[in-house]
Amino acid sequence: MKKIGVLTSGGDAPGMNACIRAVVRCGVSHKLEVVGIRQGYRGILEEDFIKLGNRSVANIIHRGGTILETARCEEMKTREGIRKANEILQREGIEGLITIGGDGTLRGATALAEAKNVKVISIPSTIDNDVYGTDYTVGFDTAINTALDAIDKIRDTAESLPRPFFIEVMGRNRGFIALEVGIAGGAEDILIPEVETKIEQLCLDIERSFKRGKKSCIVIVAEGDEAGGAFSIAQQVWERLKLEYRICVLGHVQRGGSPTARDRVLASKLGAAAVDALVNGMAGYMVGELKGEIAFTPLRETWEKRKELDSNLLQLVKVLAG
């Protein structure tokens, strides 16, 4: 193998730049030519390529976002799009491709890999942490620490003027962010898509919380909770309790910022492992980390299989809310 490509696709996540840096520098150490593909899969179809070397990735490890930019590409969901992408990659002499992203990125990588024209290795990078085959995805740790910082500040004001605060975090389909940040932030309740939200029970929990003498009540809501987002849930609670409340939607602030040390190290390890895998002839896998060890999972399994929440954390929520 002489030439590889690297792209970031889908939603951006802190640590993507650290990952690109590791891919480029490990690629160079293997005497590979490394090509950056701008704007994800769209960049393949538009032939938006840039040569990357050691100096190209200097001083980016601490930066959020992605220097290669990212995009969503509907054309890559079609057979024609996959065929065209493979033809372009072959014409450019790109023998190996490393994709960095979440669920959608992994689906596109699977289609490219199964065409068998280019060797594909993927790296899981999404703040949602919802990818099967790795304990943590690149960007998750930064996202929960960003959200936690906001929640700590909100609790200060919540204790000054007692009222329930409903804080909405990202998590359209899964509750990984809400669960971990809720535990770490000492939330009284955590509402996630995986567990049915019972408004009546939530109201009882809030009432009991104040009756026990608590000066604040923090409810963490994953944006994809089946009872609706924070606005809908807060309104339903108000209709029953007539308690004045406040809502804070953290939104895209969770995607930005300098990646934590944990995300930088994880990104560096997975980036290096992806290059080594290609050099050793592997293809069609996602490289992740399970129990502290590098692990390879067939691409199709990463989105066909469901990653489960930590059941121990789910049981801890009510106990720790005390």
The residues that are catalytic are 128
Gap between the Cα atoms of 136 and 13, Å rounded: 13
| Residue (of 182, 221, 263, 262) closest to 13 by Cα position | 263
Q: What is the dihedral sign for C-alpha 118, 126, 263, 192? A: negative
Residue with tokens 């999404």: 126
Burial of 36 (0-12, 13-18, 19+ CB in 10 A): buried
With vertex at residue 291, the alpha carbon angle to CA 287 and CA 297, rounded to the nearest 5 degrees, is 30
Q: What is the dihedral sign for C-alpha 213, 215, 217, 218? A: negative
Gap between the Cα atoms of 225 and 204, Å rounded: 19
Q: Are 113 and 286 in contact (CB under 8 A)?
A: no
Gap between the Cα atoms of 266 and 114, Å rounded: 27
Residue with tokens 């160079």: 28
Burial of 308 (0-12, 13-18, 19+ CB in 10 A): exposed
- Residues contacting residue 110 through CB under 8 Å, at least 6 positions apart: 284, 299, 300, 302, 303
Q: What Rg, from alpha-carbon coordinates, does the chain have? A: 22
Pairing assessment for the beta strands 49-52 and 33-37 based on DSSP bridges? antiparallel
**For the chain, what's the residue count?**
322
